[in-house]
Chains A and B, each alone.
Chain A
Amino acid sequence: MTPVDTLIAILVATVGAGTPLVFAALGELISEKSGVLNLGVEGMMLVGAVSGFIAAAETDSVLIAVAAAILAGAAMSLIFGVLTLTFQANQVATGLALTIFGVGVSAYVGLDYTSVALAGVPEIHIPLLSDAPIVGPLLFSFDPLVYLSIAMLLAVAWFLYRSRAGLILRGTGESPESAHAIGYPVIRIRYLAVLFGGAMAGLGGVYLSVAYTPVWVEAMTAGRGWIALALVVFATWRPARVLIGAYLFGGVTILQFHVQGIGVDIASQWLSMLPYLATIAVLVVISRDVAKIRLNAPASLGIAYHPET
C-alpha cells in the first residue's frame, strides 16, 4: 500500500472509531444542556450494544438492531430520569448506579451471544462518488450509521441554536427557576432531554457491537462512555467541537494498532493506555480555564430541581 493509501485507511478507521463517541457525546450534551448530568453513559451504551447485537443476531436486520438499541438506551435513561427528576436523587450517585447496573445487565443478557458473529453493516456505495480516487473512500464509503452521526450533529446544532425549543432547553439548563416562572414544564423538558441522551448512547453502543466490531464482548465499550462524558467538557458544551474531539480520540485509538504495525517495539498495554491518558491530558488543558468552563457549562448542571423548593 502506498503511503497515501495508508493515510486514507487511518483516517477512515479514525472516523469509525470516533462515531460511537459522537453519538454518545451528542446525547449527553443535550442532557447536560438541560441541566442534568448523567454519568450512566457507559451503562446505557452497553445496554444499547447488547440489545442491538441480540436483535441483529435474531433478525439479521440492522434497522431492527438500531431500533432495539435506541429503545434500550432510552429505557435505561428513563430509570435515571425517574430517580433524579421525580425522586430528586443525587445525579452523580444515580448515574454511577446506572453504569454499574448497565454493566451487570448487559453482561447477563449477552451471555448466550458471546460467540456469535454478525455480518456487519455494509458500506454504502454511490456509483461515481465512492470510486473517486481519494475523496471516494474518505467521504463517500462509510456505513449508513456514520452518516447518521453527522446528520445528528447537524440536527443537534440546529436544534440548540436555531430553534425555539432548543432555546427553551438551554434556558432550562441555565436557570430552571426562571424557566418555571415563565411557565415552561422544566421537569418534562429534562425528561425528554434525558431520554434523548439515552437513545443516543444506545445508538453509540449498537454502532460498536454491530458495525465497528460485529461481536459482543462483556463490557466492550471499555470506558468509551466515560470518554464521551469527557468529550462534552472538552467541547465546552458545543456540538461542533464534539465532532473534533470524537475523531481525535478515534485517532488515538487507531494509533495503537499502527504504532505496532510500523515495528515500534512496545508492549500493547502501553498503547492501549493512550486513549485514557489522552482523555486526562485533554481534560486538564480545557479545565484549566476556570472562567471558560463556568461561562460555557450550563449553570444548573447537576443540581436537582424541585418545582416547590
Chain B
Amino acid sequence: MPLGLEPRAEPSRLMGYASPLIAAGLTLVTGFVLFSFLGRDPFFAFYTFFVAPIDDIWGWGELGLKAAPLMLCGIGLAIGFRANVWNIGAEGQLTMGAVCGGGLALWFHESASAWLLPGMIVAGALGGMAWASVPAFLKVRFNTNEILVSLMLTYVAILFLDYLVRGPWRSPEGYNFPESREFGDAALLPILIEGTRLHGGLLIALAVVALGWLFMMRSFVGYQMQVAGLAGAAAQYAGFSRSRMVWIGLLVGGGGAGLAGVGEVAGPIGQLLPSVSPGYGFAAIIVAFVGRLHPVGVVLASVLIALLYLGGESAQMDLNLPSAVTGVFQGVLLFFLLASDVFINFRLRLRHSGRAPVAARETAA
C-alpha cells in the first residue's frame, strides 16, 4: 500500500479535539448518503432528521430532556473508562435506579411531602450504585470481568422491572396494563420551561457533570484514576489501589445511571413501565467516547446523541423511516470516532513499496 501509518512521537492535541468533530461531520455525510439510498429526498430527510427536531421551543425542551440522562450516565461512565473500568451495565443500573426511586414514589403515593422527591433522587442514585456494586465486588474479589457481569445484570434488571410492573406493582386502576400507578404530583420533577417537558433533571445532570469535573480534574483520586488508565504499571508501582479505582469507577457510573433512571420516571414517564429507557445506558457509552471522556465533551456529545434520538422520532413521523435508524447512526458515529482517533497517535506517510516510511529513512540517512 502506498500509504501507511507511522507512530507519532507524541499524541497530537489538535486531533484530540478535532476527531469528534470529524466523526460528527462524517456521520452527517453518511446520513445524507443513507437517506438518498433509502429513496428519500436527501435534503428534506437531512432537515427532518437534524434540523426540524429543534425548530421550536418544544424541540429544545425535548433535546434537554434526552440529553440529561445521557449526561448523567455519560459522566459516570467517563470517569470509570478513564481508569479502564468498563461499566457496560449502565442500562441495568438506570433501571434499578428507576425501580428504587419509583418504588419510593409508589410507597408514598398519597404523600404531598416536599421530602418525597429528594428522597426519590437519593434512592435512585443508591439503587444504581447498589446494582453496580455487584460487578465491582466480583471484580475485586474474584477477578471476574466487569464487562460481562455488568451486562448480564442489565438483562436481570430489566426482567426484574418487568416482573414488578406486571405483578406486585401493577396499578389497580390501570385496566390490567403492565404499568404501575401514576406518581402523585409530589413525586414528579418540576418543569423548567413552560410549554415543554423539560424538567429539573437537566439541572441535576449539569450539577453532576460539574462535580464530575471537580473529581476528575481537581481531586487526587481522580488523578490516580487517570494515571491508572494511561499507565497501569506506573500506577501500581506508585501504590495507587486498583481495587479502590474499580469500586469508584463502577459506583460513580452506577450512581449517575441511577439518577438518570429516577429522572426518567419522575420526569417524562411519571410511572413505572416495562421499559423506562430507549437505550440511554448504551448510548452513554458512545457519549463518553465521543466526549473524549471529558466533562465538557460529555455535555456536547449528550446533546449530539439526544439530537440523533429526536431525529429518529422525527424521521419516523415525517419520513416513514423506522426509529431503529437511530441505532444505526449511533453505531456509525462511534465507528467514525474510533477511526479518526487513529490520527491522534499515528500519522499518514507515503511508503515506497516495503521499505521504511520516507520520514524514517531520511532521519536514518
Q: Which positions in A face B, CB cutoff 8 Å? A: 39, 79, 83, 86-90, 92-94, 96-98, 100-105, 107-108, 111, 218, 222-223, 226, 229-230, 233, 267, 269-270, 272-273, 276-277, 279-280, 283-284, 287-288, 290, 293, 306, 308-309
Contacts and interface: CB of A to CB of B under 8 A. Distances in A.
B156 A277 contact: yes
B355 to A, nearest CB: 12
Given A223-B151, A229-B148, A94 B338 contact: yes
A100 B327 contact: yes
Given A98-B331, A280-B148, A283-B148, 9 more contacts: A83-B335, A102-B331, A104-B328, A223-B152, A273-B155, A276-B156, A287-B143, A287-B144, A306-B7
Interface in B140-173: 142-145, 147-149, 151-153, 155-156, 159-160, 162-163, 166-167
A258 to B, nearest CB: 18
Interface of B: 5-7, 86, 88, 138, 142-145, 147-149, 151-153, 155-156, 159-160, 162-163, 166-167, 282-283, 285-286, 289, 322, 324-332, 334-335, 338-339, 341-342, 345-346
A260 B334 CA distance: 42
A226 B7 CA distance: 33
Contacts of B151: 223, 226
B327 A277 contact: no
A268 B138 CA distance: 27
Nearest to B163: A269
Given A88-B5, A276-B152, A293-B143, A83 B338 contact: yes
A101 B327 contact: yes
Contact of B159 (A39, A230, A269): A269
A107 B7 contact: no
Contacts of B156: 273, 276-277
Nearest to B84: A92
Contact of A107 (B153, B167, B322): B322
A226 to B, nearest CB: 5
Contacts of B328: 101, 104-105, 108
A21 B3 CA distance: 40
Contacts of A92: 86, 147
A273 B159 contact: yes
Contacts of B338: 83, 87, 89-90, 93-94, 97
B159 A226 contact: no
Contact of A306 (B5, B88, B143): B5
Nearest to A88: B342
A43 B94 CA distance: 22
B145 A233 contact: yes
Given A267-B163, A269-B163, A280-B152, A104 B342 contact: no
A129 to B, nearest CB: 39
B358 to A, nearest CB: 13
Nearest to A104: B327
B324 A89 contact: no
A101 B332 CA distance: 7
Nearest to A294: B143
Contact of A276 (B86, B155, B341): B155
Contact of A283 (B7, B145, B346): B145
B152 A79 contact: no
A223 B149 CA distance: 12
A226 B326 contact: no
Contact of B162 (A83, A94, A269): A269
Contacts of A90: 338, 341
B346 A100 contact: no
B155 A223 contact: yes
B153 A276 contact: yes
B285 A96 contact: yes
Nearest to B357: A308
A287 B142 contact: yes
Contact of B334 (A39, A100, A290): A100
B148 A97 contact: no
A103 B289 CA distance: 19
Contacts of A230: 145, 148, 152
Contacts of B153: 276, 280
B142 A284 contact: yes
B145 A89 contact: no
Nearest to B168: A267
Contact of B327 (A79, A108, A288): A108
A267 B145 contact: no
A215 B85 CA distance: 37
Given A93-B334, A269-B162, A226 B324 contact: no
B149 A100 contact: no
29 contacts: A39-B147, A83-B335, A89-B342, A90-B338, A90-B341, A93-B285, A96-B285, A98-B331, A100-B285, A100-B286, A101-B328, A102-B331, A104-B329, A108-B322, A223-B152, A226-B151, A226-B152, A230-B152, A269-B163, A269-B166, A273-B155, A273-B160, A276-B155, A276-B156, A283-B138, A284-B144, A288-B143, A306-B5, A306-B7
A89 B149 contact: no
Contacts of B335: 79, 83, 94, 97, 101
Identify which of A92, A108, A309 gathers the most chain B CB atoms within 10 Å of its CB.
Answer: A108
Contact of B324 (A98, A107, A270, A273): A107
A104 B325 contact: yes
Contacts of A233: 145, 148
A53 B7 CA distance: 44
Contacts of B162: 269
Nearest to A82: B339
B152 A279 contact: yes
Contacts of A273: 155-156, 159-160
A134 B335 CA distance: 51
A93 B160 CA distance: 28
Given A89-B338, A283-B148, A287-B144, A97 B331 contact: yes
A297 B335 CA distance: 27
A101 B326 CA distance: 10
Nearest to A270: B163
A279 B148 contact: yes
